[in-house]
Amino acid sequence: MKQDGFTLIEMLLVLSISFIILGISVLPAGNLMTHLLEKQSLDQLKIDIMYLQAEAITTNQESILLLNGNNDTYSGKSSKLALSRKFTPTLHFQEKSEQTFRFSPPFGNISRFKTIIIQGQNKKYALIFQIGKGRFRIDEI
């Protein structure tokens, strides 16, 4: 008597191979999502800093960036805008204090230069304020 179908052993073998492949692909996807969220949060920080600099230049009034390491937030204040943002849960300022940076008119010069370390889940980032007309960058360490 011939029956067409799969035996229990064949089905278990196919299912185990499927679960192994699925397990291998899910772990990198989780790390990728965390990295993308961190990058998005750092990009938003860049945009906000550039906006505060532009506000100092266009309105000819000082704008302020406040980095709060105690609760991993930052805020900005200018004549037209007040913003407050929190980093994603995996990003943290290494220095647990408040730091204030001022952008002065007419060129958007920054009040001081400093490197601020931001710790991610698997990577570290450096927010570097340079001497000059409000120059800054974020580098991966």
Report the CATH number that the domain containing residue 103 is assigned in CATH. Answer: 3.55.40.10
CA angle 91/96/102 to nearest 5° reads 90
CA-based torsion, 102, 108, 113, 115: positive or negative: positive
Q: How many domains does the chain have?
A: 1
pLDDT of residue 28: 74
In a domain, 22, yes or no: yes
CB-based burial of residue 5 (10 Å sphere; 0-12 exposed, 13-18 middle, 19+ buried)?
A: exposed
In a domain, 72, yes or no: yes
pLDDT of residue 2: 60
In a domain, 2, yes or no: no
In a domain, 3, yes or no: no
CA-based torsion, 118, 54, 83, 42: positive or negative: negative
CA-based torsion, 128, 130, 133, 135: positive or negative: negative
pLDDT of residue 30: 74
pLDDT tens digits, 11-47 = 999 999 999 998 887 777 778 889 999 999 999 999 9
In a domain, 126, yes or no: yes
Q: Where are the alpha helices (DSSP H) in the chain?
A: 8-59
In a domain, 1, yes or no: no
pLDDT of residue 1: 53
CA angle 71/115/60 to nearest 5° reads 85
Bridge partners of residue 86, in order along the sequence: 73
* CA distance linking residue 51 with residue 44, whole number of Å: 10
Residues of the chain with pLDDT under 50: none
Range of the domain at 132: 8-140
